[in-house]
Structure 1
């Protein structure tokens, strides 16, 4: 039995030193205290990382098909009236949304930025007492008004009962409304008078667009848009102005829902117009993004990068149309962010590494100081430091 115990003692990889050989020093105490504090700080730092989730990032090929892209926006035009401003969206598939109004709110603002009025669409049509019928004469009791579309009717039964309906009928035909005063509905509603009343006002437009998940553009511009000879043009003659001030503040532009850590580079961007007329262009690369939190909840959204450009031009075609244009394209690569907790085994391994590392470095430092002090003391005793 004693032989077995002796063999076991010989296997001891951690031989002990007799207490008679211990020498406790002041420097050793200081280093021990300092190393203990360092170990505690590193331990609590590692514990905090363990208790909080970490985010893992991956790049994968985006294989989604047939989805919609939601564009959220909030843009302010300090010198462009709401009655003038419109928004269009179109994409490379050929789909077009002209003069979009649904899910969009306009706020009239004065020169100081104060809100005058909030409304869903453009100028609107006031109630007219006893309007004229298409074929003349005032309306009598129970009679129905049916206004003329001034040659833009598609059928004999079609009616244009407001200035806006006449403009929309012209838009479908690809015509421009050059003189609203010759249109009975526009004249009675005071179309030009309302535009003049809003002269000097600004407009805040916010809401969202649902577009196909393909490359395209959306733009804010003055006038009502329509297709003419296969080209996208805006009816600007009706406003009887030679130039439009398109200075704008982008309060928010986002492609999709918010998720933690997202940065939208166009938020709080300001661009001031220095020339009489021009076209502001933003070229945007949209990167599909999926964010999964620690509870497994998933948010499908997008990030984007952007470059800016300004070009001068005359009023007319799309290439020189005054407006603020956002041209977007989609990346074929999707970014995935996944929140997850560090495993306990990983935490334990890091703690052991901290303790072992600090202990080893402290031992080396203590040994260096101890033997250094000892060597200096010995030389002093030999009289070499007189």
Structure 2
């Protein structure tokens, strides 16, 4: 056992010197004191910088104003039908887009959250088989159909041949389309019936928006909205209000890359 301890002592990389060989000097004491003070100051300084962050203010020119930012989203609305749900954007520069449809997909959901398979409609949707003349009467030979905008036309030559065109004309006037069942184009396209048949359904909306890198916002509006005096107003309103309960499955900004954690993802 003693031999093992002796071998262990031989591995000591810091051998001790006998005190008889020590010689204490004034300069050595000064160096020791200064070293202790420096170490103490460094300890206090590093501790303070760790607990207290410094605020630095800079003013730089933003050169990315013309660049675009992609907003990726996947949100579920269990109590709002897809027919009444629209995606709108606007920014501080005055650029605004309402009821955006490109790069966005909507899926109808039943009361249990299951996807409802919808039949595909022809390009352009339902056609108006019996057009209503703008000024009444029948179509003359060679005369093309020109639907009325119900007082929202900007000129005598403007035509509204679909329910969507009537809604767009109302938006420009700042009017609310409260009775779409009285609009001939909407009635022929069964707009009200489609809203009624989707009562109690939900909607899953996913896709992306390409917006300017300026202050602004995007939102999901229940009803086809119009923009007036910096206030968004729903065009179609429910008598008891809308249940806008929603779940954010995914919400990220910019180009996606593996390993990125988005704090708003559900």
Task: Name the CA distance, whole Å, in 1 between partners of 2:193 and 2:79.
Answer: 18
Give me the TM-score of the superposition, normalised by structure 1.
0.49
The counterpart of 1:241, out of the listed 239, 254, 257, is 239
Matching residue of 1:162: 162
Matching residue of 1:115: 115
Matching residue of 2:252: 254
Matches within 5 A, 1:62-101: 64-66=63-65, 67-101=67-101
> Does the aligned pair in 1 maintain the 2:134–2:148 contact within 8 Å?
yes
* TM-fit CA distance, 1:261: 3.0
Matches within 5 A, 1:47-58: none
Q: Against the structure 1 CA distance between its residues 213 and 244, is the aligned structure 2 distance closer, same or farther, given a 3 Å change threshold?
A: same
Task: Name the CA distance, whole Å, in 2 between partners of 1:180 and 1:255.
Answer: 37
Task: Name the CA distance, whole Å, in 2 between partners of 1:232 and 1:205.
Answer: 20
Matching residue of 1:148: 148
Task: Name the CA distance, whole Å, in 1 between partners of 2:216 and 2:96.
Answer: 10
Give me the TM-score of the superposition, normalised by structure 2.
0.70
Consecutive unaligned residues in structure 2, runs of 5 or more: 9-57
> Does the aligned pair in 1 maintain the 2:128–2:185 contact within 8 Å?
no
Q: Which protein has the larger Cα radius of gyration, Structure 1 or Structure 2?
A: 1
Q: Against the structure 1 CA distance between its residues 69 and 130, is the aligned structure 2 distance closer, same or farther, given a 3 Å change threshold?
A: same
* TM-fit CA distance, 1:24: 7.3
> Any idea what SS the aligned residue of 2:116 has?
strand
* TM-fit CA distance, 1:64: 4.3
* Residues 270-323 of structure 1 deviation map (CA, whole Å, 9 limit, x = unaligned): xxxxxxxxxxxxxxxxxxxxxxxxxxxxxxxxxxxxxxxxxxxxxxxxxxxxxx
Task: Name the CA distance, whole Å, in 2 between partners of 1:245 and 1:226.
Answer: 20
* TM-fit CA distance, 1:92: 2.0
**Number of matched pairs:** 212
> Any idea what SS the aligned residue of 1:195 has?
helix
Q: Against the structure 1 CA distance between its residues 133 and 91, is the aligned structure 2 distance closer, same or farther, given a 3 Å change threshold?
A: same
* TM-fit CA distance, 1:241: 2.7
Q: Against the structure 1 CA distance between its residues 63 and 184, is the aligned structure 2 distance closer, same or farther, given a 3 Å change threshold?
A: closer
* TM-fit CA distance, 1:98: 1.8
* TM-fit CA distance, 1:173: 1.3
Higher relative contact order (CA 8 A, sep 6+): 2
**Between structures 1 and 2, the one with greater strand share:** 1
> Any idea what SS the aligned residue of 1:166 has?
helix
Q: Against the structure 1 CA distance between its residues 192 and 102, is the aligned structure 2 distance closer, same or farther, given a 3 Å change threshold?
A: same
Q: Against the structure 1 CA distance between its residues 88 and 119, is the aligned structure 2 distance closer, same or farther, given a 3 Å change threshold?
A: farther
Q: Against the structure 1 CA distance between its residues 76 and 118, is the aligned structure 2 distance closer, same or farther, given a 3 Å change threshold?
A: farther
Q: Against the structure 1 CA distance between its residues 93 and 229, is the aligned structure 2 distance closer, same or farther, given a 3 Å change threshold?
A: closer
Q: Against the structure 1 CA distance between its residues 62 and 207, is the aligned structure 2 distance closer, same or farther, given a 3 Å change threshold?
A: farther
Q: Against the structure 1 CA distance between its residues 165 and 157, is the aligned structure 2 distance closer, same or farther, given a 3 Å change threshold?
A: same
Matches within 5 A, 1:232-311: 232-237=232-237, 240-268=238-266
Matching residue of 2:33: none
Q: Against the structure 1 CA distance between its residues 119 and 225, is the aligned structure 2 distance closer, same or farther, given a 3 Å change threshold?
A: farther
> Any idea what SS the aligned residue of 1:181 has?
helix
Task: Name the CA distance, whole Å, in 2 between partners of 1:69 and 1:101.
Answer: 18
